[in-house]
Structure 1
Amino acid sequence: VLVQTSWSTWDNGYIADSQARFPDRSIGHGMLDPQNPDNADQAHYWMEERGLLGFRFHPMYYPDEKVLTTPQNRPLWEVLAAMDAVIQFHLNAACADQIAEIARRHPQMPLLLDHMGYPNLDESPEAFQPIVQLADFDNVAVKISDVHGRSKQAFPYADVHPFIQRLHRAFGAERMLWGTGYPGHHRTKHNWPTLAEELRLVQEGFDFLNPREKDQMLGGTAARIWGLT
């Protein structure tokens, strides 16, 4: 699944072209500007004419506004639901109420929480609870990704494991997905884990998951969400 990055533009053409060129190997997700009054039309264009299967939103970048649930954006969510879009959210706990409102209004639309909802080791466990409570909605799943970025320790980043275990208890492996984050160039530039190391983290570092749950996280959940089975 190729996802337009948050530091890119609103032009999803590269992702759409990549998916069109390699349709058997890639699924494309773009971005939409939640403050653009024409975003419902943009959603229709990128899905209907360019073949994208969903979008990523970044509510945590709008701390002074509940940007996803403004009256202006109601037509956007109606279009996305009607087109069977899969939606991803780059968020923290302060944004959880917006996702809850969308999940409640559109219970058939798959909603994915990126990077575990950004758990913060410097905050109390209670501060993360709004993310955990999103498990109450059957259409919400969580990505176990960028674990390294949340940690203050070396592999396997055990200080983040309590957050992952809370998510596991709440969502179950059936609603957990493996993810990676930035692609190769940025990993090399910033000395982040390689994709092979990200994979090894689940396979060898999460001893609280059994083999079936690891397989589910590494592919089963994604196959169900994007209809790959």
Structure 2
Amino acid sequence: MDASIFSTPKTDCHCHLFDPASFPYAPGVFYEPAGGEIATAACFTEVMDAYGVPHALLVGPNSGYGTDNRCMLDAIRRGQGRFKGIAVVENDASRAQLEDLRAQGVVGIAFNMALLGLAHYADADALWERLAALGMCVQVQVEGNQMAQLAPRLLGCGAQLLVDHHGRPDVSQGLASPGFQALLAMAPGGRCAVKLSGYDKFSREALPYADAQPFTAALLAAFGPANCLWGSDWPHVRATRRLDYGTLLKVFERSVPLEADRRGILMDTPARLFGFGKQD
């Protein structure tokens, strides 16, 4: 009998921290999370313990902090191996800046095309090459058909690639949409991994997000568990509907029916890509 998703050890590969009391928000940021969106490292650690999550990949948010990574870096330092990070930097970040972040537990840099547009990253290719040389990841969040234009640039940079939230497809266009087909075409070679996450950002239906399931299945078939990851997107900033950690885990469990595949996605692939467990 398959183990319950709640008893299976797992790695959350997309989550954010917001602690404005200790780390005030940067001036002029896109959005300032408040109320139930406040998400301290101490609070998230309790969530992780409740759901059997030994490790998490913290993602620096454009909301709240922009290129200020101090909140995330503090959590990594205090976490004693429990956390790794994806930081946000300016497009002209130097090799020395990247090396400093890597020494503090950062494994890659996030690029949010869905929020800022492709033009904002028109000059990012040199940064991607620096990340490749340092063995760091290029993580991108796209939406709709943006990947159709972006994929050739990404594949040419040589870095390990991470794609957020199923690539945020336009479900009205179906699996044949240019953006989603471009994402599927990035699977050969094994240098790109995709996060099976972010239903609130592209599904048009309520739980269990039935319209998202064909996209999950297609990504799993193309990339395999060795290049798929799971993320909660906790604490669900600017969510359009109620989201809970446990129900999102159940969506993942139903979407990935084989226990061996779930184990690969939840533990083996994050350990290989990000080094979780090596210094625990």
| Counterpart position of 1:85 | 136
Deviation at 1:151? 2.0
CA deviation after TM superposition for structure 1 residue 191, in Å? 4.8
Cα distance in 2, alignment partners of residues 182 and 14 from structure 1: 15
Q: Secondary structure at the match of 2:195?
A: strand
Deviation at 1:14, TM superposition (A): 0.9
Q: 1:55 aligns with which of 85, 109, 113?
A: 109
Consecutive unaligned residues of structure 1, counting only runs of 5 or more, are none
Q: Contact 1:104/1:137 (CA < 8 Å) preserved in 2?
A: no
Give per-residue Cα distances to partners, 1:118-165, cap 9 Å, x unaligned.
011222432121121111342101000012442232322111111111
What secondary structure sits across from 1:29 in the alignment? strand
Contact 1:44 1:79 in 2 (8 A): no
- Greater fraction helix: 1
The answer to whether the 8 Å contact 2:82/2:276 transfers is: no
The residue type equivalent to 2:107 in the other structure is L
Aligned residue for 2:150?
A: 98
Which residue of 222, 225, 228 corresponds with 2:273?
A: 225
Q: Tell me if structure 2 keeps the 8 A contact 1:144–1:177.
A: yes
Which moved further from structure 2: 145-154 or 171-180? 145-154
The alpha-carbon deviation at position 38 of structure 1 amounts to: 4.1
The number of residue pairs the alignment matches comes to: 217
Unaligned runs of 5+ in 2: 1-56
Match in the other structure for 1:178: 230
Report if aligned partners of 1:59, 1:95 keep a CA contact under 8 Å in 2.
no
Equivalent residue runs for 1:184-199 within 5 Å: 186=237, 191-199=241-249
Q: What secondary structure is seen at the aligned counterpart in 2 of 1:111?
A: strand
The TM-score, its normalising length taken from structure 2, stands at: 0.69
| TM-score, structure 1 normalization | 0.83
Taking the TM superposition and a 5 Å limit, the aligned residue runs for 1:27-42 are: 27-34=84-91, 37-42=92-97
The reply on whether 1:5 has 2:55 as its aligned counterpart is no
Shift of 1:15: 0.6
Determine the structure 2 residue equivalent to 1:126: 176
> For each residue in 1:65-86, what CA deviation from the matched residue of structure 2 results, as whole angstroms up to 9, or x when unmatched?
2725x3xx44422321222112
Q: Partners of 1:197 and 1:124 in 2: how far apart?
A: 25
- RMSD over aligned Cα, in angstroms? 2.4
SS at match of 1:143: strand
> Is 1:201 matched up with 2:251?
yes
Please tell me whether the aligned partners of residues 129 and 157 of structure 2 are also in contact (alpha carbons under 8 angstroms): no
Residues 230 and 266 of structure 2 are in contact (CA less than 8 Å); yes or no, is this contact kept in structure 1?
Answer: yes
What does residue 98 of structure 2 align with?
A: 43
1:157 correspondence with 2:157: no
Cα deviation for residue 32 of structure 1 reads 1.5
Match of 2:259 in 1: 211
SS in 2 for 1:126: coil
Q: Which amino acid is 1:54 matched to?
A: G
Q: Give the direction of change, closer, same or farther, for the CA distance of 1:139–1:124 in structure 2 (3 Å limit).
A: same
Q: Matched residues, percent identical?
A: 26
Please report how far the alpha carbon of residue 63 of structure 1 lies from its aligned counterpart in structure 2 after TM superposition.
3.5
Matched, 1:67 2:113: no
Match of 1:25 among 73, 77, 82: 82
Q: 1:200 to 1:81 in 2, by over 3 A?
A: same
Question: 1:168-189 deviations in whole A, cap 9, x for unaligned?
Answer: 12111211111111426x48x8
The structure, 1 or 2, with the larger RCO (C-alpha pairs under 8 Å, 6+ apart) is 2
Stretch deviating more after TM superposition (113-122 or 194-203): 194-203
Question: What SS does the aligned partner of 1:136 have?
Answer: coil
Q: Give, as a single letter, the amino acid of the residue that structure 2 aligns with 1:44.
A: E
1 CA distance for matches of 2:79 and 2:199?
Answer: 29
